[in-house]
Structure 1
Amino acid sequence: MTERRPLGMQFESWIDRQIREAEERGEFDDLPGKGKPLPDRNEATDELWWIKQKLESEHLSMPLPPTLALRKEAEQALADALGARTEAEARRIVEEINARIREAIRTGLSGPPLNLMPFDVERVVSDWRRAR
Structure 2
Amino acid sequence: MSDRIESLIEARIRAARENGEFDDLPGAGKPLPGHSEPYDEQWWLKEFARREGISGGAMLPPSIQLARQVERLPDEVRRLPSEQRVRETVAALNREILDYQLRPSQPFVPVRRVDADAMVALWREALEARFAAARRPAPEQPRPRPRRRWFRRSEPPDDA
Relative to structure 1, is the Cα distance of residues 122 and 40 closer, same or farther in structure 2, using a 3 angstrom cutoff? farther
Unpaired runs of 5+ residues, structure 2, are 1-27, 128-160
Match of 2:83 among 80, 83, 87: 87
Q: Deviations over 1:3-49 (max 9, x none)?
A: xxxxxxxxxxxxxxxxxxxxxxxxxxxx9347xx973745x264312
Partner Cα distance (1:104, 1:78) in 2: 21
CA distance in 2, matches of 1:86, 1:60: 32
Counting aligned pairs with the same residue, the percent is 23
The alpha-carbon distance between structure 1 residues 119 and 54, as it changes in their structure 2 partners (threshold 3 A), is closer
The answer to whether residue 128 in structure 2 is matched with residue 127 in structure 1 is: no
Q: 1:99 aligns with which of 95, 99, 110?
A: 95
1:100-119 matches, cutoff 5 A: 100-105=96-101, 107-119=102-114
CA contact (8 A) 1:67 1:112 kept: yes
TM-score where L is the length of structure 2: 0.44
Gaps of 5+ in 1: 1-30
- Is the counterpart of residue 48 in structure 1 residue 42 in structure 2? yes
Q: Residue 78 of structure 1 contacts residue 94 of structure 1 at CA under 8 Å; is this kept in 2?
A: no
Is contact 2:67–2:111 with CA below 8 Å preserved after alignment? yes
Taking the aligned partners of 2:123 and 2:114, their CA distance within structure 1 comes to 13
Question: How high is the TM-score relative to the length of structure 1?
Answer: 0.51
Residue 23 of structure 2 is aligned to residue 32 of structure 1? no
d(CA) in 1 for partners of 2:36, 2:119:
44
**Structure 1 residues 118 and 55: CA distance shift in structure 2, 3 A:** closer
